[in-house]
Amino acid sequence: MRPDKNKPKRRFSWSTEEGRALIYQVVAVAILALVAWFMLSNTARNLATMQIRSGFGFLSQPAGFDIGEGLVAYASSDSYLRAFLVGVSNTVRVALAGIVLATVLGTLVGIGRLSRNFLLRKLCDGFVETLRNIPLLIQLLGWYLVITELLPTAHEAIQLLPHTYLSKSGLQLPMPVWSPGWLLALIGLPVGIVCARLIRKSAQRKRDRTGDAPRIAVPMAAVIVGMPILGWLAGGAPTAFDLPEATVFSISGGMALTPEFLALLAGLTLYTASSIAEIVRAGILAVSSGQLEASSALGLSRRQTLRLVVLPQAMRVIVPPLTSQYLNLTKNSSLAVTVGYPDIVSVANTSLNQNGQALECISLIMLVYLTISLLIAAFMNWYNHRMALVER
């Protein structure tokens, strides 16, 4: 017999808690549905009177506008869909570069704030307090003007390194000419990382068995660096580089980073680094001093203490807010529209000004960002699950 048959039949009246709960929810849903219906019917009516088409059919039509840069080949006769893809690729490109740079810089500054050196400490404090209290938009616009107004023109570009030029028209870098050797080198990297992990596993097993911890730092590094080099050699050791050359009027060749990209990257990196520095600092401070005393009582050196005791515990505190900073950086990259970098928001903005289909274009932007948010949230859940304290 099913257990709920024994229960008295539920009476949905005002006098029972369940009844009230049901009534409240029905009323709430009804109000929401009414508001949604009101907005949708107005939208339909307004679109009809303004004679704007609706639906996503426009995506397959030619976009008809140019996009300054992108990883995906694009011409103005290509479709809107392709234009949006270029925008997404640009968002991802600047966000990834920003995440890497901001993490490195933020970690260094965060550790610098805990330094024993008074000057370094104060310098890092000043960096954090200044950058995170000035709106990102001001910083971005400022960087953009600094690059496009204060830097010299292309024909008197600053040479940072051999064949690396910085000027009003951006940063020109040497770029290896694509050949199978480079592909093999790229494949070598994950292979090297897997090998390094295997080395660590076996070392751990040996330690568990004998209590003797083999030194593995050098072999691990050798494998990670060596495998790509091996791949590169196997591919015939290509050495051809596409070098930027300064000609009379401009610089040609190599990989060019536009001033828009540079300004956006600089702004996002510095602004996010100031937040990451705070997170790193708080994470390290969260490791209780008893842990440090215990590890020195066990005879661990300063470096061992940092690597084996402080970092693993600090990471548990650092990673959740760090992922939300990555998410913030990605969302903030939408400010690209103010410096003219063609990210997804700029492309959608141009499209909606052109064809008037605001509803569709804005939904597409939201869809892109929500997807990225979901991916990052999924990663964070996975990490938290892996890193959760295992209690006895």
Partner 1 sequence: MARDIDTTLLSSARPAPVADRGPGRWLRANLFSSWTNSLITLAILWLAILIVPELYRWAIANAVFQPDFMSCRAVGREGACWGMIAEKFRLIFFGRYPYLEQWRPLVATLLMMSMLWISCYPRFWRKWLAPAWALVLLAFILILRGGVFGLEYVESNLWGGFPLTLLLTVVGIFLALPLAVLIALGRRSKLKAIRSFCIFYVEIVRGVPLITVLFTASFLFPLFLPPEYNIDVLLRVQIGIILFTAAYLAETIRGGLQAIPGGQYEAAAALGLGYWQTVRKITLPQALRIVVAPLVNTFISTFMDTSLVTVVSLYDLTGALRLALGDPNWKAFFMEGYLFVAAIYLVCCYGMSRYSQWVERRLGAASRR
Choose the stretch contacting partner 1; rule: CB under 8 A; options: 5-13, 170-178, 282-290, 332-340: 332-340
Closer CB to partner 1, 77 or 133, in the complex: 133
Residues in 125-154 that interact with partner 1 by CB under 8 A: 129-130, 133-139, 141-142, 145-146, 149-150
Of residues 105, 310, 314, 365, which one binds partner 1 by CB under 8 A? Answer: 365
At closest approach, how far in Å is the CB of 271 from partner 1? Answer: 10
Choose the stretch contacting partner 1; rule: CB under 8 A; options: 73-81, 162-170, 299-307, 357-365: 357-365
At closest approach, how far in Å is the CB of 273 from partner 1? Answer: 16
At closest approach, how far in Å is the CB of 371 from partner 1? Answer: 9
The owner of tokens 């951006």 is: 170
d(CA 18, CA 9): 12
Residues in 2-61 that interact with partner 1 by CB under 8 A: 21, 24-25, 28-29, 32, 39, 42-43, 45-47, 49
Strand partners, 161: 164
d(CA 250, CA 260): 18
**CB-CB contact of 177 with 238 (8 Å):** yes
Choose the stretch contacting partner 1; rule: CB under 8 A; options: 59-67, 241-249, 293-301, 326-334: 326-334
The owner of tokens 């006895």 is: 392
Q: Is 30 exposed, middle or buried (0-12, 13-18, 19+ CB in 10 A)?
A: exposed
At closest approach, how far in Å is the CB of 149 from partner 1? Answer: 7
Closer CB to partner 1, 130 or 291, in the complex: 130
Site size toward partner 1, by CB under 8 A:
53
Closer CB to partner 1, 31 or 237, in the complex: 31
Closer CB to partner 1, 149 or 212, in the complex: 149
Judged by CB under 8 A, does residue 249 bind partner 1? no
Closest Cα partner for 251 from 372, 167, 131, 152?
167
Write the interaction track for partner 1 spanning residues 109-128; mark x where CB under 8 A is met and - where it is not.
------xxxxxx--x-----
Judged by CB under 8 A, does residue 341 bind partner 1? no
d(CA 237, CA 13): 81
**CB-CB contact of 309 with 295 (8 Å):** yes
Judged by CB under 8 A, does residue 205 bind partner 1? no
Q: Give, rounded to a whole angstrom, the gap between the first and last alpha carbons of the chain.
A: 41
Closer CB to partner 1, 225 or 362, in the complex: 362
Which letter does DSSP use for residue 152 in this model? P
> Which strands sit side by side in the sheet containing 164-167, from one edge to the other?
158-161, 164-167, 170-173, 255-257
Write the interaction track for partner 1 spanning residues 177-196; mark x where CB under 8 A is met and - where it is not.
--------------------
d(CA 335, CA 141): 10
H-state helical runs in the chain: 17-50, 80-112, 118-131, 136-145, 180-210, 217-234, 259-285, 289-297, 302-304, 311-332, 336-339, 344-355, 358-387
Report the interface residues with partner 1, using CB under 8 A.
Answer: 21, 24-25, 28-29, 32, 39, 42-43, 45-47, 49, 115-120, 123, 129-130, 133-139, 141-142, 145-146, 149-150, 331-332, 334-335, 337-338, 345, 349, 352, 358-359, 362, 365-366, 369-370, 373-374
